[in-house]
Structure 1
Amino acid sequence: MKQKQLLDIGVDPDDIDFALELVQKAREKGLNKKKIHRQLQLAISKPDANFTNPYFGVLAKKVFKDRAFKERKQPAPWEIWGEDLPEGAVKQMENACRLPISWRGALMADAHQGYGLPIGGVLATEGAVIPYAVGVDIACRVKMTVFDSPAQDVDDNKDFLIKTLEKDTLFGIGKAFDRSHDHPVLQEDWSFSKVTKHVKPRAIRQLGSSGSGNHFVEFGELTLTHGALGLESGSYLAVLSHSGSRGAGSAVANHYSKLAMKLRPNLPKELQHLAWLSLDSEEGQEYWQAMELMGKYAAANHHIIHKKICKSLGAKPLLQIENHHNFAWKEMHDGKEVIVHRKGATPAGEGDIGIIPGSMVNSCYVVRGKGNESSLLSAPHGAGRVMSRRQAKRSFNWTDVNQVIKSKNVTLLSAGLDEAPSVYKDIDMVMRHSENLVEILACFQPRIVKMAKDGERPED
């Protein structure tokens, strides 16, 4: 048998040489290829039932011992921002800090329950990366372009700006352009793994598009009450986008999440979505490379959107800002290199410029990080949901929601009812709880908003 066959069966990379020795001995004793494959498969998938296997029992015992879950004697320390956070999110953070690889954590004020690590969860680990702690929409990000035009243009040129959004953006699951865009990210190596090679054709077709769920592109008014960001105080026309790595990122996340769970089948049920990949392993290195590629791809999507809008407006940007979440970073904390997962949280190192959106009608804030080490240099990524999508659809109707939107002087081109403004926390409350994490530099007010059409499956 070859190494790849053993990996496909589920043999740990560290056990490959040992398994090959046992396979050779089994062959010498007359066991045929089909039986070797079957018995080896059983020893890996059900090690506790195969201790007496005459050929692979010793491997089964090793696998069982290696896979036994040994949680930390004391949970990794973590801190919380905000009040009355959802019980499910808090419990998920507690569970994450039980992992033997966990080092420290933090929970942001916009937190709500997710898969594995909660949205708004920050987790530093030692020598390992957790695909589900990065998230399904890898490297989801926000980007803002500020124009040398007064905010009054939102009203004076409203029809033109609406046409621009309709023409230059594309939203929805599976949506792709008839004519592909070009970008240097397509010249990157996509062939290093089976999954990235497989998704590249889809990534090419979707390059420059947005997803669904809470993804948006919107024109609005950026207001600076004092000189900041290299701009004079005043109000400017700006465009803000929020989306990630589309179908390619989702495929990468699902592939490596399943692989991690396959390699760690003995995790308790409540920790299964926190299965990790060692960065010393081939799988861990491969995922890390795929994650970084998806980061470049997500950035490319925004680059194309903003480039097209700038061209349509015939305008050069005064300023562009972007930051991302749903990612893992190698960072030094307390003199130690750790892997910092920020799932629905953004970097807020000292001087870092970031963007924290509210909802389709509420303020978005441009901020500067204060470098608070207790939060692992992190801040919220938005307002955070207060209810599920299903609950939102049961609770609201478009007649009432449209009245709220109109009262805020916002024009909504398209969106799902599950993105109604009331499904989000009060962004100003989130910002109050984050005062020791970031400094507010400017406020952006959405005025013309486009999202995926109602009924689309969420991709955020």
Structure 2
Amino acid sequence: MEDLTFTPLNGRDLKSWGHVPGPQFPHLLARANQMLEEGKDVKDIRNDLSSEIPIPPEQIEPHEMGSVTFHENLIPADADEEKNLAKVRETMRAVMQTPTVVGGAIMPDACPAGPIGTIPVGGVVAAKNAIHPGMHSADICCSLMMTDLGDADPAAVMDAAARVTHFGPGGRPQGQRFTVSLDLLDAFRGNPFLNNAKTIRAAQEQMGTQGDGNHFLFVGRSRTTGRTAMITHHGSRGPGAKLYKAGMEVAEKYRRRHSPKTLKQNAWIPADTEDGCAYWDALQIIRKWTKTNHNSIHQATMEAAQASAGERFWNEHNFVFRRGDVYLHGKGATPGWSGFAADADAGGRTIIPLNMAEPVLIVRGTDAPHALGFSPHGAGRNWSRTEHMRRLGANTAEEALIEETAGLDVRFHAGKVDASELPSSYKPATAVAAQIESFNLAEIVDWIDPYGSIMAGDMPRFIRRPKGRR
């Protein structure tokens, strides 16, 4: 009797022929063994399957150091600023090596924000056909909104705002949540990056919250009109952080495949791919959620203070903007050109805070080419929190607050002063304002002089369980 037994082909055979393991592997192996059963020669089987060997992806090399340059809109005034600028230059030179990048700029408030090669605060990066999640950071669409409250008493507005707003981690408890429209939640569910139970839950729970860090609620008076104004500063909270994480995961897959020499923090999603289109749409949905978040706090405060609202406008500074086929990533930089967004109808004006003891600037952007069209988002820092605490010396944070904010109503939601948000922790406000004008980054059209502000403060440090324990 004829022996029809044969040794079946396996995955090692396919890999030795050049096939790459993946979802298609079981099907390929079944086809190969079917042909083998039919009596086909192994050489012929290999030849028949060769057309399905994937073409190696094109490898994109980083730019040579210095081949792509960036504009500097910062003149250091002292030794601290010299050191800060040297660090910003070092990290921006590394960012400019990213193969998609075609230009960059730094603002007067620039300061490092991570390992070398990470876009600094006050940095702008232009990229062709690429969205870099790491360049807008986890605090997507960090932004400012101002409402004119007319002749409302600033003290009454502060008290109302303290009752209304919410700082700290997490969201509002059940029974105290702000409503999120069904249309907005449907938009989350319709996007592959946002259609996640945890993301949607965060969108519901965290509406009407401001988080922590340098986010604030500021009340003051316009020098131009004498009217009371309220300004909020915060980003997209949990929903944005979850989108950032999902975006970085997708970008990393492209980086590993196409440009493994590119720094991980500068991985990108090609804008013209299905992933790129979906991520761009997700950014716009998160932007809408963030604007709604600001609006909810302003409206609730206005009603609690029994104030009448005049005009209201807003702008973001941790976001991606598109001009033609160039994607402009602003990390702590504010767009300064007319019509940068469909709802940016404020006569070209944007909002630049400096610190809690100084006026908030209302400016009109100049679309300066040496800033890629941007202006600063604030005052920036020259040193770390640890260094600032060292420089306070024997003074406590509470003593420094009294000294630095005399006459102002400054409140910390957690009850404890956050030393890293004291005015002295920021660059000198007058110097930043002067450089905005000297570099023609924006025209200052109004100053909102401070009455007071509310911030998160030093939040309790939560105890973490050791790994492996639940």
Please report the TM-score for the alignment, with normalisation by the length of structure 2.
0.77
Corresponding residue for residue 178 of structure 2 = 181
The 1:448–1:24 alpha-carbon spacing in structure 2 relative to 1, beyond 3 Å, is: same
- Distance in 1 of aligned mates of 2:243 and 2:195: 7
- Distance in 2 of aligned mates of 1:20 and 1:261: 20
Contact 2:408 2:452 survives alignment (8 Å): no
- The answer to whether the aligner puts 1:88 opposite 2:87 as a matched pair is yes
Tell me the secondary structure at the aligned position of residue 299 of structure 1: helix
The 1:405–1:57 alpha-carbon spacing in structure 2 relative to 1, beyond 3 Å, is: farther
The 1:102–1:170 alpha-carbon spacing in structure 2 relative to 1, beyond 3 Å, is: same
> What code does the residue aligned with 1:121 have?
G
What is the CA-CA distance between 1:118 and the residue it aligns to?
A: 1.0
String of CA shifts for 1:230-272, please: whole Å, max 9, x gaps.
xxxx422111100010111011112211331243138678822
What is the CA-CA distance between 1:114 and the residue it aligns to?
A: 1.6
- Distance in 2 of aligned mates of 1:235 and 1:384: 28
Tell me the secondary structure at the aligned position of residue 109 of structure 1: strand
Tell me the secondary structure at the aligned position of residue 202 of structure 1: helix
- Distance in 2 of aligned mates of 1:427 and 1:218: 16
- Distance in 2 of aligned mates of 1:217 and 1:30: 69
- Distance in 1 of aligned mates of 2:30 and 2:93: 48
The 1:316–1:399 alpha-carbon spacing in structure 2 relative to 1, beyond 3 Å, is: closer
Corresponding residue for residue 347 of structure 1 = 335
**Higher-Rg member (1/2):** 2
Contact 2:397 2:418 survives alignment (8 Å): no
Alignment match of 1:124 (pick from 126, 148, 170): 126
Corresponding residue for residue 200 of structure 1 = 200
Corresponding residue for residue 381 of structure 1 = 377
- Distance in 2 of aligned mates of 1:299 and 1:188: 17
The 1:368–1:257 alpha-carbon spacing in structure 2 relative to 1, beyond 3 Å, is: same
String of CA shifts for 1:12-53, please: whole Å, max 9, x gaps.
xxxx9996666643333359xxxxxxxxxxxxxxxxxxxxxx
Contact 1:186 1:204 survives alignment (8 Å): no
The 1:197–1:399 alpha-carbon spacing in structure 2 relative to 1, beyond 3 Å, is: closer
Tell me the secondary structure at the aligned position of residue 378 of structure 2: coil
Contact 2:171 2:202 survives alignment (8 Å): no
Pairing 1:79-228 to 2, within 5 Å after superposition: 79-84=71-76, 85-115=84-114, 116-149=118-151, 153-154=153-154, 158=155, 160-179=156-175, 180-184=177-181, 186-191=184-189, 192-193=191-192, 195-198=194-197, 199-224=199-224
What is the CA-CA distance between 1:83 and the residue it aligns to?
A: 1.7
Corresponding residue for residue 273 of structure 1 = 265
> What code does the residue aligned with 1:181 have?
F
> What code does the residue aligned with 2:442 have?
V
Alignment match of 2:352 (pick from 353, 356, 369): 356
- Distance in 2 of aligned mates of 1:86 and 1:251: 32
- Distance in 2 of aligned mates of 1:369 and 1:173: 34
Corresponding residue for residue 301 of structure 1 = 293
The 1:456–1:238 alpha-carbon spacing in structure 2 relative to 1, beyond 3 Å, is: farther
Alignment match of 2:458 (pick from 454, 457, 460): 454
Pairing 1:283-298 to 2, within 5 Å after superposition: 283-298=275-290
Higher helix share: 1
> What code does the residue aligned with 1:387 have?
W
In structure 1, list runs of 5 or more residues that go unmatched. 1-15, 32-53, 225-233
- Distance in 2 of aligned mates of 1:270 and 1:407: 49
Tell me the secondary structure at the aligned position of residue 311 of structure 2: strand
- The answer to whether the aligner puts 1:256 opposite 2:254 as a matched pair is no
Tell me the secondary structure at the aligned position of residue 141 of structure 2: coil
The 1:254–1:390 alpha-carbon spacing in structure 2 relative to 1, beyond 3 Å, is: farther
- Distance in 1 of aligned mates of 2:385 and 2:261: 24
Corresponding residue for residue 8 of structure 1 = none
- Distance in 2 of aligned mates of 1:427 and 1:270: 36
Please report the TM-score for the alignment, with normalisation by the length of structure 1.
0.79
What is the CA-CA distance between 1:218 and the residue it aligns to?
A: 1.9
Q: Percent identity?
A: 27
Contact 1:213 1:456 survives alignment (8 Å): no
The 1:271–1:330 alpha-carbon spacing in structure 2 relative to 1, beyond 3 Å, is: same
Contact 1:72 1:99 survives alignment (8 Å): no
Contact 2:335 2:373 survives alignment (8 Å): yes
What is the CA-CA distance between 1:175 and the residue it aligns to?
A: 3.1
What is the CA-CA distance between 1:278 and the residue it aligns to?
A: 0.3
What is the CA-CA distance between 1:393 and the residue it aligns to?
A: 4.2
String of CA shifts for 1:159-205, please: whole Å, max 9, x gaps.
x3343122110001113242322244634411222544331112101
Alignment match of 1:318 (pick from 283, 289, 310): 310
Pairing 1:19-98 to 2, within 5 Å after superposition: 24-30=27-33, 59=54, 62-63=56-57, 66-67=58-59, 69-71=61-63, 75-84=67-76, 85-98=84-97
Corresponding residue for residue 445 of structure 2 = 441
- Distance in 1 of aligned mates of 2:249 and 2:390: 32
- Distance in 1 of aligned mates of 2:381 and 2:29: 56
- Distance in 1 of aligned mates of 2:205 and 2:364: 35
Tell me the secondary structure at the aligned position of residue 277 of structure 2: helix
- Distance in 2 of aligned mates of 1:251 and 1:387: 29
- The answer to whether the aligner puts 1:235 opposite 2:232 as a matched pair is no
Instruction: Count residues with an aligned counterpart.
Output: 398
- Distance in 1 of aligned mates of 2:201 and 2:217: 25
- Using the TM superposition, name which of 133-142 and 402-411 deviates more: 402-411
The 1:375–1:273 alpha-carbon spacing in structure 2 relative to 1, beyond 3 Å, is: same
Contact 1:218 1:448 survives alignment (8 Å): yes
- Distance in 2 of aligned mates of 1:343 and 1:23: 45
What is the CA-CA distance between 1:73 and the residue it aligns to?
A: 8.0
What is the CA-CA distance between 1:456 and the residue it aligns to?
A: 5.5
Alignment match of 2:326 (pick from 313, 323, 338): 338
The 1:406–1:347 alpha-carbon spacing in structure 2 relative to 1, beyond 3 Å, is: closer
The 1:270–1:128 alpha-carbon spacing in structure 2 relative to 1, beyond 3 Å, is: closer
> What code does the residue aligned with 1:429 have?
A
- Distance in 1 of aligned mates of 2:52 and 2:429: 57
Corresponding residue for residue 344 of structure 2 = none
